[in-house]
Amino acid sequence: MSRIPILFITCFLFTSAPALAFKPAVTPADTAAPPFTPYEKVKKGPYWEALKHLDEDRPREALKMAEEAYRQNPSDARWWPLIATAHLQRGKAEEALNLFRRYLEILPPDERACYEDLSLVALKEEAERYANLPPAGRRAFAERFWMQRDPTLVTGGAARQAEHYRRVWFSRTFFSKGATPFDRRGEVYVRYGDHDWRSRRGGPNTLPPPNVQELRDRLAQIFYGDVPKGENISQRRNFEQFGTFIGPIYPIQSDLTKPSDSYNPMAPGTSGDYTFGFHRYKPVLAGFDVSAVKWETWVYTRLGNGVEIDFTDELRTGKYNYAPIPTLDKEDFQNPAFGREIVNALQTFLKYSPENIMKTETAHTPERYDPVIRSEPLNFYYSLADFRGEGGATAFELYAAVPFDQVGVPLGSDLNVEYRVALGKHARSSSTVSAPGEQWRKGGMLLNQTRLEVPPGTYKLAVQARSLDSDRISIYFQEVTVESYGRDTLQISDIQIAHAVVPAPEGGRFVKNGLRITPLPTAAIRPGDKIFVYFEAYNLAKDAAGQTRYRVEYTVNAAGRSIAARVLSGLGRLVGASGQGPSASVVYEQSGAKDWEAHYVEMDLGPTRSGEHVVRVTVTDQIAGRAIFKEAKFKVVD
């Protein structure tokens, strides 16, 4: 198992935002305003302004207004979903979920049912099973359902469930005009959340980022050929005249009698030369938007191979559906630009229609969640080791350290860091480590150790550290293999590089097998510092008198550099030591009555030069005639 320290872990991290340090303590009767009102029915005022910020893709401004309004009147439940969103974006999943649950409690039953419906995000068989359960069974099913879909692992499903509630609230607020509970945009949003890029008719649209542009260029080539480098002179002239695609690339219902910003249908040779799409169905270019309907284009780059979904309001009611497959008229059949290719074009537009694209994606990916945390990173170190556990299980240990100066609070302030560790869906742990302000010192660290008993196997590890004082947070994922420790042949545990090892009574912090082993998550020491090495040996053979006899050799390799090692303490009888040169070794002989033993050694490496080093522990069972070794890396840093 890897024990290399991880530095400056910054997954899912964006910009910082101030913390909100209080929660609502109200009952449904305390709320004066209706808890839910669709955006189009909201009157002017702070709440309308906050929703307008959200609608125009300015979430930071919306959340800032929500927090101010919430401070002034925490009983106004309209703001609760926005405050829960702020909690979620700071990595406070449980706080977000609890606030959403309070919000659901005061909603009418039919409104609450929208949030509890899993039909859009579950596989077909899951949705059917859920629908046939009684209320109590549904609650238990939902807990398992969200836990299985929580990519953070460390929140036990709270993050994913809170995100679902946020998406439903957003869809009910912005996509419910003319539709119950929401139109096609709401269905897509509940499934997949925020898009990577959006463009809409009349909206404050921005240029797509490079990864989105690459996807859209690929779609344009599928629909219209190699534009603007292709052999179709008319289409190349169209592209050069009207610019890049800024709306749907898929052709939507259009009206060529309608002028656009840089297109005049009365200009000589213009309308007849415009060959993108069909006669009454055109894509939208920067200088050529003659769409006859309102439209929105959403792009998800991480869904499948990347998808663009186009919606149109065909009936002008505010209810958006997937953009329909184009229909042809006589002008299309008479257009020489198509010729015999018109059938191929129709087949292409049928295959890539938004509705068919969504049917394909939802069949195997009904939902997706990529967490986004908008807080500053909390840089930390960690290392791993595993040992034999109870009843055939393996004891997985994770050692973590947050430097005092990374917590993000003023010098001398109290320090409080919450650590969370999860091994897939099998085991989770949460603990908080604190230090009073007077313990603040340069180079100090908040140490933590997590021990999880799990079956042997390969797991997805998630480790998160969050400052409870500054909201700095980081989470890191890694695949780990947890070793099996049977009882048939000689084995040794992983090697734990430690800061110190001293005898201690059982039950204390960092104590196992009568030794307090202070972790060294950085796996780094300075020149002249001591290094402690701890491990456990299992399944030692016994002679006729019931005694074990074995040899332990510790070897430190300095990667070609000169090293001088001196033993300061250890368990067993020292029988040899050698140093000077690129490696140094220490050998102990040991005997006992148990078939397993815990061992450690304290070594002084002297003025070793900086760089990466390897310590190897070799155990030779002198009765069974077997030998086994393991290695661990550490660094000497100036």
Say what the pLDDT of residue 25 is.
Answer: 42
Domains of the chain with bracketed CATH? 1-7+378-484 (2.60.40.10), 28-174 (1.25.40), 198-364 (no CATH), 486-638 (2.60.40.3880)
Could you tell me the two tokens for 569? Answer: 């303490």
Per-10-residue mean pLDDT of the chain, 638 residues long, equals 39 36 42 80 92 91 94 94 94 95 96 95 93 91 93 94 98 95 98 96 88 92 68 50 77 76 40 62 83 96 96 96 91 66 83 96 94 89 96 96 91 91 92 87 89 96 94 94 92 96 89 95 89 95 95 81 52 53 79 94 80 92 96 91
d(Cα 66, Cα 82) in Å, to the nearest integer? 6
Cα–Cα distance for residue pair 170/192, rounded to 1 Å: 12
DSSP string spanning 68-94?
HHHHH-TT-GGGHHHHHHHHHHTT-HH
The owner of tokens 């299985």 is: 148
Strands 626-636 and 524-525: parallel
- Give residue 512's pLDDT: 94
Phi first, then psi: give them for residue 421, nearest 5 degrees: -135, 135
Structure tokens at 625: 């005639």
Cα four-point dihedral sign 329, 334, 336, 341: positive
C-alpha to C-alpha distance for 454 and 477, rounded to whole angstroms: 18
E strand segments, 489-625: 491-492, 496-503, 511-512, 515-519, 524-525, 530-538, 548-557, 566-570, 573-578, 583-592, 597-604, 611-621
**CA–CA distance, 121 with 459 (Å, rounded to integer):** 25
Q: What stretch of H or E contains 458?
A: strand 457-467
pLDDT at 556: 87
**Residue holding tokens 């260029």?**
217
Q: What does the DSSP assignment read for 400-454?
A: EEEEGGGS-S-TT--EEEEEEEEETTTEEEEEEEEE-GGG--TT-EEEEEEEEEE
Contacts of 384 (CB under 8 A, 6+ apart): 1, 2, 3, 396, 397, 398, 399, 461, 480, 494
Output the pLDDT for position 568.
Answer: 52
Q: What radius of gyration do the chain's Cα atoms show? A: 32
Predicted local distance difference test score (pLDDT) of residue 14: 30
Instruction: Say what the pTM is.
Output: 0.84
Q: What is the pLDDT of residue 534?
A: 96
Tell me the residue ranges of DSSP E strands in 179-280.
197-200, 252-253
Predicted pLDDT at 235: 52
Q: Is the peptide bond before 228 cis (omega within 30 degrees of 0)?
A: yes
Q: Quick check: helix, strand or coil at residue 206? A: coil
At 1 the pLDDT is: 62
3-state class (DSSP) for residue 50: helix
